[in-house]
Amino acid sequence: MLLTGNITPRQPGRSAEHVEVSDALDAVRVIGVAAGVDIDVAQTQRAALHPGRAGVLSVRGEDVGYVGELHPQVSADADLPGRVMVLELDLDRVLTLAGERVVAASLSTFPAATQDVSLVVDAGVPASEVRAALIEGAGELLESATLVDDYRGEGVGEGRKSLSFALRFRASDRTLTAAEATEAKLAGVAVTAERFGAGIRD
């Protein structure tokens, strides 16, 4: 997959929004859901990709592809306009690792509650492990947890990184309150704090 240009066009009172790595990660998430597996993302370095904006994709510890932003010089050499996001995934391997057939869960008619959280951890801690701890602690109300940003730089501290997750909560029998979603989120944060010393970024 190759993405470039604007994901949202310019509109009255609103500027155009260019594609970001998060848009490619959304595609990874959709593919993972369809295949019935969790596709983990961990920051990496890869030739032709922008330093700090490249991730390796894995299923159950086995690499299945990569995602990231092309280095500006590579984009220019290929006559590609502006910033360019790329995704490569070995679908045959993903489906093999998925194993048994996927059984879809029942769809809830109740609305989802969405919240974000940014956690500061040591730079060497894999994002996939932080996400797993977050999911475990948040419990059954957490429907999905998507990594949307991996930031290292000013305000985070030397040797540290900030991982931002988009969380979606839903109950099968009622509409969740904001307090219930927050309680579940903080329960997930508590597990990440216990295992990795994670703290919520101010």
Where residue 29 sits, what CATH number does that domain have?
3.30.930.10
- Report the candidate in 80, 106, 74, 87 with the shortest Cα–Cα distance to residue 26: 87
Domain end, chosen from 41, 74, 98, is at 98
More confident residue, 44 or 101: 44
- Report the candidate in 13, 92, 28 with the shortest Cα–Cα distance to residue 66: 28
Q: Is 96 helix (H, G, I), strand (E, B) or coil?
A: helix
Maximum average pLDDT range among 75-79, 145-149, 170-174, 194-198: 194-198
pLDDT at 104 over 70: no
Residues 86 and 118 in one domain: no
Neighbour-count burial for 166-189, b at 16+ CB within 10 Å, e otherwise: bbebbbeeeebeeeebeebbebbb
Domain contains 105: no
Domain contains 104: no
Domain end, chosen from 73, 98, 123, is at 98
Biggest CA pair distance of the chain: 55
Cβ atoms within 10 Å, residue 151: 16
Residues 51 and 121 in one domain: no
Model pLDDT, residue 105: 56
Model pLDDT, residue 100: 64
Residues 93 and 119 in one domain: no
Q: What is the mean pLDDT of the chain?
A: 88
Containing structural domain, residue 23: 2-98
pLDDT at 35 over 70: yes
| Percent of residues, the chain, with pLDDT higher than 70 | 96
Domain contains 107: no
Find tokens 């490619």 and name the residue: 24
pLDDT at 101 over 60: no
State how many domains the chain has: 2
The Cα–Cα gap between 71 and 124 comes to 23
Residues 76 and 128 in one domain: no
